[in-house]
Amino acid sequence: MSNINKIFGLFDDGEEGNQPQEAVYVNFMDTPKGKIGMFVKLIQNNIVFRKKLRQFFKQIDQPFDEELTKKNSEFTIFNRAWHYIKQVDLQDHDALAAIVTFEPSILLDCLNMAIKFFEFTEEYEKCGHMHKIAKLVKKL
């Protein structure tokens, strides 16, 4: 008997309020907040990873090329982080709302690190996009 309402809900009686509702699922990673979050998380995790790697090699008393490790990890991380932040459109209301939810100092630090990396590799269009976001964060 509990399914009777579902059966009758399938029929349209012409009133808008009686329409069956469809569930809408949103992939968080398709949202501006998810993209900005991944950008920040990638950059922060890279810093933590390098520190832990340095400690590990120090504990086992083995040498490793810290500068080469830093260079390689930064290339991978900043390019992957760019994949997410490039999709943040400052003309989109949801993107602006997402930017407001992040701790400004953390977001600015990550943006500045990425800008510095891409300045070094002379990828100025990437720097320009992130600079616009940083400028907005500073205003907030």
Per-residue pLDDT tens for 67-98? 888 898 899 999 999 999 999 999 999 999 99
Residue with tokens 């500068």: 67
Q: Are 48 and 110 in contact (CB under 8 A)?
A: no
Q: pTM of the prediction?
A: 0.75
Of the candidates 20, 24, 21, 23, the one whose C-alpha atom is nearest the C-alpha of residue 10 is: 20
Residue 2 predicted with pLDDT over 60: no
CB under 8 Å to 26, separation ≥6 — which residues? none
Domain boundaries, the chain: 27-139
Question: Position 68: which residue type?
Answer: L
Residue with tokens 């399914």: 3
Q: How far apart are CA 82 and CA 62, in angstroms?
A: 33
Confidence label for 9 from pLDDT (cuts 50, 70 and 90) = low
Look at residue 52 in the predicted model and tell me its pLDDT: 87
